[in-house]
Amino acid sequence: MPERPDQPGPAKPLRTWRPMALWTAAILAALGLAWFTGAVALPLYQVHAAARRCAQHEGGKGEGIEISFSAIEELGGETQAAARLRVYLRLPRWVAKHKDGAMVMLGSCGRPAVPALIEVLRDPDRSLHSSAANSLGLMGIEAPEAVPALVEALTEPHDNARAGAAWALGEIRTEPDKAVPALARALGDKYWPVCSNAASALGKYGQAARGAIPALTTALGDERHEVRASAAEALKQIRSEKK
């Protein structure tokens, strides 16, 4: 029997999936925003605020150090603070405006900060290399894995970074097969603090630096008295240890 023209056709299904999809997307977006705020934005803001405080008091050593240790505790202790500071220091300068203050805190984090300091020492932005080298030197024998990066820093263009690297190698005193030849070459640097620090570092290596004796002997004739004095003391240390 033919269907009558005025007879209603089959009912169309309601498209209930659209509002459900929109609600799901909105919930996921809210959860993602909440995660980003809690896991990324808020911690970075906390680091930024702490770094700003440290940068403002960097000149006053006692107060600056106290603020630095207080900020490290606020960031969850040395290990967690070092991890957060490492992320902060990777950000561009226009975002991380207080990297100098962050370096003050990082240098106070002790052993957990070593990987981050090595990363800073190899960063294309060389403005913090000197600070990183000095912090590694203060850690001394606790930062043996920093020797290759410090050896590389002996050839970079910033004078103070090279001087800091030479000093730090003398404080760490490990891997003489890598450090001693590099320090011997640094005795011919145009910046006298690099030469003086390199000579002093070689003296601290003792017998392990006997291969640098010819270079130190040559340095005795350097026109800069600071270099001559450091070379003479280094030779004395190496030879006295031999006896």
In tens digits, the chain (243 residues) has pLDDT values of: 455 555 555 555 555 656 666 656 656 655 554 443 444 454 566 777 777 877 776 544 445 567 778 888 888 889 998 999 899 898 888 878 888 888 888 988 999 999 999 999 999 889 999 999 999 999 999 999 999 999 999 999 999 999 999 999 999 999 999 999 999 999 999 999 999 999 999 999 999 999 999 999 999 999 999 999 999 999 999 988 655
Q: Return the DSSP state at 112.
A: G
Query: How would you class 75 by CB atoms within 10 Å of its CB: exposed for 0-12, middle for 13-18, buried for 19 or more?
Result: buried
Residue ranges per domain, the chain?
Answer: 145-243
35 by DSSP, 3-state: which? helix
Element (H, E) at 96: none
CATH among 3.40.50.1260, 1.10.3210.10, 1.25.10.10, 3.40.50.300 for 145-243: 1.25.10.10
Neighbours of 200 (CB within 10 A): 20
